[in-house]
Amino acid sequence: MAKYNLKVAHFYGDLMNTYGDIGNIIALKYYGKQMDTDITSDIVSIGDDFDDQQYDLAVFGGGQDYEQMVISKDIPHKKEAIARFINGGKPFLAICGGFQLLGQYYVDANGEKIPGIGVLSHYTVTQSSHRSAMQNQTRFIGDIVIKNPQNGDLYHGFENHNGRTFLGDDEQPLGIVQEGHGNNGEDKTEGAIYKHTYCSYFHGPILTRNGNLAKQMLLEALHNKYPNEDFSKQESLIIKPTF
């Protein structure tokens, strides 16, 4: 038995799992072991209540426009608890479609406006609504590398999205694009950071390829849950980038 334990809410894990985003949970378990921490997770899906008090971390994967439309009808019931979770500084990882649904709205490839819960301030539009026959040419698809401006970490991933996301004033990008497209192909931003919520278009999954981010989220959750413990041993597992 590990000394610590953390519980992950896996939002719509049965519907949102593009390119095996569930690997993010596996990565949290893997790094949890190195940090003397047991990780358990529950899928929180359609019709389920979300009791934010029960969870220390949250993960929300990517998905297709159809699934996003279905989820947009359920997620408003969880909005208040998700807002409390995020604004209370608990770590939350939202990928691609999950990233879009935490924001204000997403205009899908057919030009349909799918409402988000607006807990985060970004919004997402489409380039392909007027030329859906060319949708494949307008998706952002390929390998991507970004640099986190706060700590110099380089993150590697694979992006495949129609949506173009624009950040709000209270959000920072997860990274600056070095290679690839990022949020919108215009402003070099990729993903978002708000408090301890990390959003990204990265699949791969992001935490299996970028262990520092997994460790950072676990440390934040440990500090929240065990405020009087010394986690310097766990902190030493973070690999310092050479700028």
Q: Which stretch binds ligand GLN (CB under 6 A): 78-86, 115-123, 154-162, 225-233?
A: 154-162
Q: Which residues contact 200 (CB under 8 A, 6 or more apart)?
A: 93, 94, 95, 96, 99, 155, 157, 174, 190, 191, 192, 206
Task: Determine, following the binding rule CB under 6 A, whether residue 13 of this chain makes contact with ligand GLN.
Answer: no
Helix axes 211-225, 23-34, angle to 10 degrees: 70
List of E strands, the chain: 4-11, 37-44, 57-60, 92-95, 105-107, 113-115, 123-126, 140-147, 154-161, 163-166, 175-179, 189-190, 192-194, 197-200
Of all residues in this chain, which one has the CB nearest to ligand GLN in the complex? Answer: 62
Q: CA-to-CA distance for 1 and 37, rounded, in angstroms?
A: 9
Look up 199 and say whether it is catalytic. Answer: no
Task: Determine, following the binding rule CB under 6 A, whether residue 62 of this chain makes contact with ligand GLN.
Answer: yes
Task: Determine, following the binding rule CB under 6 A, whether residue 189 of this chain makes contact with ligand GLN.
Answer: no
Look up 203 and say whether it is catalytic. Answer: yes
Footprint on residues 63-92 left by ligand GLN (CB under 6 A): 63-65, 68
- Binds ligand GLN by CB under 6 A, chosen from 9, 28, 96, 222: 96
Task: Determine, following the binding rule CB under 6 A, whether residue 204 of this chain makes contact with ligand GLN.
Answer: no
Q: CA-to-CA distance for 201 and 203, rounded, in angstroms?
A: 7
Contact flags string 100-139 toward ligand GLN, x per CB under 6 A: ----------------------------------------
Residue whose CB is less far from ligand GLN, 65 or 74 = 65
Catalog residues that contact ligand GLN under the rule CB under 6 A: 18, 62-65, 68, 96-97, 160-163
